[in-house]
Amino acid sequence: MTTFVKADAAGQKTLDAHWYRSPETFALERERVFAREWICAGRMEHLQRAGDFFLAEIARESVIVVRDQHDEIRAFFNVCRHRGTRICEMQSGHFTGSIQCPYHAWTYALDGRLKVARNMADVEGFSVDDYPLHAVRAATWEGFIFVCLSPDTPPFETVFEPIAHRFRRWHIADLRTARTIRYDLRCNWKLIFQNYSECYHCPLVHPQLDKLSPSDSGRNDLSEGRFLGGYSELRNHGASLTTTGATSRPPVGEVDGADIDRVYYYTLFPSMLLSLHPDYVMVHYANPVAPDRTLVDCAWLFDPQTMSRADFDPTDAVEFWDMTNRQDWHVNELTQKGIESRAYTPGVYANAEGLLAAFDRHYMSTMS
């Protein structure tokens, strides 16, 4: 049985301004956070067959994520071992059996081994065995692909052990993406995570959401560390967070009992927001590009059998959350503008903002 606890915000204040606006701080967290943590790069469903690939941008590095000839998910720095040329320019596509640099045609197997190096046979001491693509660590969980640039970070299984099996009843690995919307936000990435972790603002900012799910119904079951969150209740039995407040879709996976009337919200530090609904799953992938700019891809996942129905239409869920997202992004950008003022000083967290204080504690521990 899950034990729900209240996150502690007693006496804790918001962070100083430089943590949200300083280029030097952003450069530091690029190395201490994003180059060290396990980052969600995408979904396995987008790599259906050997040779399928997509690019991920992490800590100013371009990473090729590919399904190899042995059906394994691999990741490599997008850098040729000859003279450092960026190999791949397309954001996604299909390699026909190999990965070839466009400059001098050095050619690599899908598992990263150098197969062909033109005109290098007469170079004394040269061996293709010495020049594979530089590998990036990759792991899969619930259909998501995670990558890590650092060889020193603990294994994925160790880091994600607290939530390894927590969401199995949603069968997220089996779900498929029906729609994705990209948002370009003029705010720091941490404001997005913090906003997601409290509903103190919901009655004012999200009247449509508050009508369907009471802002004071939240309970947290992860309240310390890199994984934070819990659930909120739906006002009506069998409802859903859609434009109509209802759904004709069956529950996903094995969701039943109390979970039919709940929506779970979790932040997975530092790149992912996961929302578990009775009839769909929503995920936000966050990619910081500047102290005051973050790209967010929001995706809606549904059961493939439901998607195959002639009457399937995800619009009710997509439009509801697109509206809600934009409401959030607006106040996040207002917060960024306020923090950039010389008048800003750290404020005191409310009791309803305990997860924000917990987020700050974990963030500061990674930056120390």
Q: Locate 289 and state its tokens.
A: 């590009």
User: Residue 1: pLDDT above 90?
Assistant: no
pLDDT category, 8, cuts 50, 70, 90? confident
CA angle 300, 301, 306 (to 5 degrees): 120
Classified by CATH at the fold level, domain 18-35+170-367 comes out as Naphthalene 1,2-dioxygenase Alpha Subunit; Chain A, domain 1 (3.90.380)
The reported pLDDT for the residue numbered 10 is 78
- pLDDT per position as a tens digit, 243-283: 999 999 999 999 999 999 999 999 999 999 999 999 999 99
- pLDDT per position as a tens digit, 105-119: 999 999 999 999 999
pLDDT category, 189, cuts 50, 70, 90? very high
Q: Locate 47 and state its tokens.
A: 């790599």
User: Residue 6: pLDDT above 70?
Assistant: no
CA angle 135, 137, 141 (to 5 degrees): 145
Strands of the sheet with 293-302, listed across from one edge: 176-185, 293-302, 281-290, 272-276, 262-268, 227-233, 219-222
Q: Locate 326 and state its tokens.
A: 């934009």
- pLDDT per position as a tens digit, 151-176: 999 999 999 999 999 999 999 999 99
- pLDDT per position as a tens digit, 61-108: 999 999 999 999 999 999 999 999 999 999 999 999 999 999 999 999
DSSP state of 4: P
d(CA 87, CA 60): 16
Closest to 286 (Cα-Cα) out of 184, 174, 142 = 184
The dihedral region occupied by 42, where left means phi > 0, alpha psi between -120 and 50, and beta the remainder, is left
Q: Locate 339 and state its tokens.
A: 């923090």
The CATH code belonging to domain 39-157 is: 2.102.10.10
Dihedral, CA atoms, 89, 95, 101, 107, nearest 10 degrees? 170
- pLDDT per position as a tens digit, 207-235: 999 999 999 998 999 999 999 999 999 99
Domain ranges of the chain: 18-35+170-367, 39-157
* Core vs surface per residue 265-295: b (16+ CB within 10 A) or e: bbbbbbbbbbbbbbbbbbbbbbbbeebbbbe
| 235: number of Cβ within 10 Å | 13
